[in-house]
A and B are shown apart, each in its own frame.
Chain A
Amino acid sequence: MAALRYLAILFCAAILAFPVLLTFQVAPIGCPVPNSSRRFLAFCRNGAYQDFEHGAYALGLRPAAVAAVRRAPVLFLGNSRLVLGFSTAATARAFAAADLRYYLLGFGYGETDGFARTLLRDLALNPRAVVIDVDPFFDGELGEPARFLRDHPVRAALEYRAKAVAAALFAAVCPVRAKHWPCGGALALLRADDDGSWELLGPDLDQATPFAARNGKPADPAPFIADGRGFLAELGVPADCVVLTTVPSPQRPLDAETVRRIAEGLGAVWAEPTLDDLASFDRSHLTRDSAERWSAALLDEIMPILRRCTGRPETHPIDK
Chain B
Amino acid sequence: MLFNSEPFLFGFLPAVLLVHLLVRRNPAIAAWWLGLASLGFYSWWNWRFIFLLLLSIAVNYGIGGLIAARRASARPAGAWLGAGIGFDLGLLIFFKYLGFLTTFAGWRLGFEPILPLGISFYTFTQIAFLVDLARAGDARPKARDYLLFVGWFPHLIAGPILHHREMIPQFGGARAFRAGLDDIAAGLTMLAIGLFKKVVLADGLAPHVGPVFDQPGEPSALSAWVAVLAYSLELYFDFSGYCDMAIGLSRLFGLRLPLNFDSPYQATSLIEFWRRWHMTLARFLRDYLYIPLGGSRSGLGRWGNILITMALGGLWHGAGWNYLVWGLLHGVFLCVNHLWRALGFPRTRAGWPLTLLAVILAWVPFRAPSLGRAGAILAGMAGGNGLGDLDAGLIEPVCRILALGAVVLFAPNSQAILAAARPALGAPPRPAPALLTWRLSPGWAGLAGLALAASLVRLGQPSPFLYFQF
Contacts and interface: CB of A to CB of B under 8 A. Distances in A.
Interface stretch (B105-113, B226-234, B336-344, B439-447): B439-447
A6 B182 CA distance: 9
A10 B453 contact: no
B460 A3 contact: no
A154 B460 CA distance: 11
Contacts of A8: 445
A100 B13 CA distance: 55
B176 interface: no
B360 to A, nearest CB: 29
Interface residues of B, number: 26
Interface in A1-32: 2-18, 21-22, 25
B180 interface: yes
A7 B445 contact: yes
B458 interface: yes
A22 B458 CA distance: 8
Interface residues on A, range: 20 to 34
Contacts of A12: 449
A25 B441 CA distance: 28
Interface in B26-63: none
Contacts of A18: 453, 456-457
B181 A3 contact: yes
Contact of B440 (A3, A13, A22): A3
Given A10-B445, A152-B6, A25 B181 contact: no
A93 interface: no
Contacts, number: 74
Contacts of B448: 10, 13
Please report whether the interface of chain A is mostly helix, strand, loop or mixed according to DSSP. Answer: helix
A9 B456 contact: no
A177 interface: no
A271 B272 CA distance: 75
Contacts of A21: 453-454, 457
Given A3-B182, A17-B449, A17-B450, A25 B457 contact: yes
Given A13-B446, A13-B450, A14-B452, A7 B181 contact: yes
Please report whether the interface of chain B is mostly helix, strand, loop or mixed according to DSSP. Answer: helix
B460 A14 contact: no
A16 to B, nearest CB: 8
Interface in A180-231: none
Nearest to B459: A155
B89 interface: no
A191 B446 CA distance: 40
B115 interface: no
A9 B182 contact: no
Contact of A6 (B180, B441, B459): B441
Given A3-B182, A3-B440, A4-B181, A13 B449 contact: yes
A6 B460 contact: no
A159 interface: yes
Nearest to B448: A10
A11 B184 CA distance: 12
A3 B449 contact: no
A13 B453 CA distance: 8
Interface of A: 2-18, 21-22, 25, 152, 154-155, 159
3 interchain residue pairs of minimum CB distance: A13-B449, A9-B445, A3-B181
12 contacts: A3-B181, A3-B182, A6-B445, A8-B445, A10-B185, A10-B448, A10-B449, A10-B452, A15-B449, A16-B453, A17-B450, A152-B6
Interface of B: 6, 180-182, 184-185, 188-189, 192, 440-442, 444-446, 448-450, 452-454, 456-460
